[in-house]
Structure 1
Amino acid sequence: MNAVIDRELVQGHLQKAPLPVDPVEKEAKKTRIKNLLKEKGAVLVAHYYTDPVVQELADETGGFIADSLEMARFGARHDAETLIVAGVRFMGETSKILSPEKQVLMPTIEAECSLDLGCPVEEFSAFCDQYPDREVVVYANTSAAVKARADWVVTSSCALDIVESLDAQGKAIIWGPDKYLGSYIQKNTGADMLLWDSSCIVHEEFKAKGILDLKQVYPDAAVLVHPESPDSVVDIADVVGSTSQLLKASQEMSNNTFIVATDRGIFYKMQQASPGKRFLEAPTAGSGATCRSCAHCPWMAMNTLDALLECLESPSELNIIEVSDSLREDALRPLQRMLDFTAAN
Structure 2
Amino acid sequence: MLSDKDIADKVLVREHLAHLNVTPVLSVEEIEAYKTKITALLKEKNACLVAHYYTDPVLQSLAEETGGCVADSLEMARFGSNHPASMLVVAGVRFMGETAKILNPEKRVLMPTLEATCSLDIGCPEQEFSQFCDQYPERKVVVYANTSAAVKARADWVVTSSCALDIVEHLMDQGESLIWGPDRHLGRYIERETGADMLMWNGSCIVHEEFKAKGISELKAVYPDAAILVHPESPEAMVELADVVGSTSQLIKAACDMPNETFIVATDKGIFYKMQQLAPTKRFIEAPTGGNGATCRSCALCPWMAMNGLQSLLAVLETEDQEIFVDDGLRDKALVPLRRMLDFTSSQRLALAGNA
Interval containing the TM-score (normalised by the shorter chain): over 0.9
Q: CA deviation at 1:290?
A: 9.1
Q: CA deviation at 1:326?
A: 1.3
The aligned counterpart of 1:264 is 269
Match for 2:71 among 42, 66, 70? 66
Deviations 1:10-67 (A, max 9, x none): 54256x3233211111111111111111111111000000001111110111110001
Match for 2:200 among 195, 198, 217? 195
Q: Which runs of 4+ in 1 moved over 4 A?
A: 287-291
Residue 337 of structure 1 pairs with residue 340 of structure 2:
yes
SS in 2 for 1:138: strand
Distance 1:219 1:167, change over 3 A: same
Match for 1:250 among 251, 255, 259? 255
The aligned counterpart of 1:12 is 18
State the one-letter code of the partner of 1:235. Answer: E
SS in 2 for 1:85: strand
**Does structure 1 retain, via aligned residues, the 8 Å contact 2:78–2:342?**
no
Q: Measure the CA separation in 2 of the matches of 1:44 and 1:135.
A: 35
**Does structure 1 retain, via aligned residues, the 8 Å contact 2:91–2:308?**
yes
Q: CA deviation at 1:287?
A: 9.4
Q: CA deviation at 1:294?
A: 1.9
Q: Measure the CA separation in 1 of the matches of 2:334 and 2:181.
A: 15
SS in 2 for 1:235: helix
Q: Measure the CA separation in 2 of the matches of 1:168 and 1:288.
A: 39
Out of 286-295 and 22-31, give the one that drifted further.
286-295
The aligned counterpart of 2:216 is 211
Q: Measure the CA separation in 1 of the matches of 2:157 and 2:110.
A: 26
State the one-letter code of the partner of 2:215. Answer: G
Q: CA deviation at 1:291?
A: 5.0
The aligned counterpart of 2:351 is none
Q: Measure the CA separation in 2 of the matches of 1:175 and 1:127.
A: 11
Residue 324 of structure 1 pairs with residue 322 of structure 2:
no
Out of 127-136 and 160-169, give the one that drifted further.
160-169
SS in 2 for 1:57: helix
Match for 1:220 among 225, 233, 238? 225
- Normalising by structure 1, report the TM-score: 0.96
**Does structure 1 retain, via aligned residues, the 8 Å contact 2:207–2:268?**
yes
SS in 2 for 1:4: helix
Q: Measure the CA separation in 2 of the matches of 1:322 and 1:100.
A: 9
Q: Measure the CA separation in 2 of the matches of 1:290 and 1:122.
A: 30
Distance 1:56 1:203, change over 3 A: same
The aligned counterpart of 1:295 is 300
Equivalences for 1:124-163 in 2 at 5 Å?
124-163=129-168
The answer for unaligned runs of 5 or more in structure 2 is 349-356
Q: Measure the CA separation in 2 of the matches of 1:303 and 1:9.
A: 20
**Does structure 2 retain, via aligned residues, the 8 Å contact 1:10–1:298?**
no
SS in 1 for 2:9: coil
Out of 67-76 and 171-180, give the one that drifted further.
67-76
The aligned counterpart of 1:102 is 107
Q: Measure the CA separation in 1 of the matches of 2:51 and 2:335.
A: 22
State the one-letter code of the partner of 2:18. Answer: G
Distance 1:289 1:330, change over 3 A: closer
State the one-letter code of the partner of 1:324. Answer: D
State the one-letter code of the partner of 2:15. Answer: L
The aligned counterpart of 2:281 is 276
The aligned counterpart of 2:352 is none
SS in 1 for 2:241: coil
Deviations 1:250-287 (A, max 9, x none): 00000010000000000000000001000000011139
Match for 1:241 among 232, 242, 246? 246
Q: Measure the CA separation in 1 of the matches of 2:79 and 2:346.
A: 16
Residue 178 of structure 1 pairs with residue 166 of structure 2:
no
SS in 2 for 1:21: coil
The aligned counterpart of 1:286 is 291
Residue 54 of structure 1 pairs with residue 74 of structure 2:
no
State the one-letter code of the partner of 1:214. Answer: L
Q: Measure the CA separation in 1 of the matches of 2:63 and 2:179.
A: 37
Q: Measure the CA separation in 1 of the matches of 2:210 and 2:292.
A: 14
Q: CA deviation at 1:177?
A: 0.3
Q: Measure the CA separation in 2 of the matches of 1:145 and 1:208.
A: 35
Q: Measure the CA separation in 2 of the matches of 1:51 and 1:192.
A: 38
The aligned counterpart of 1:81 is 86
Deviations 1:101-147 (A, max 9, x none): 00000001110000011101000000000111011000111111111
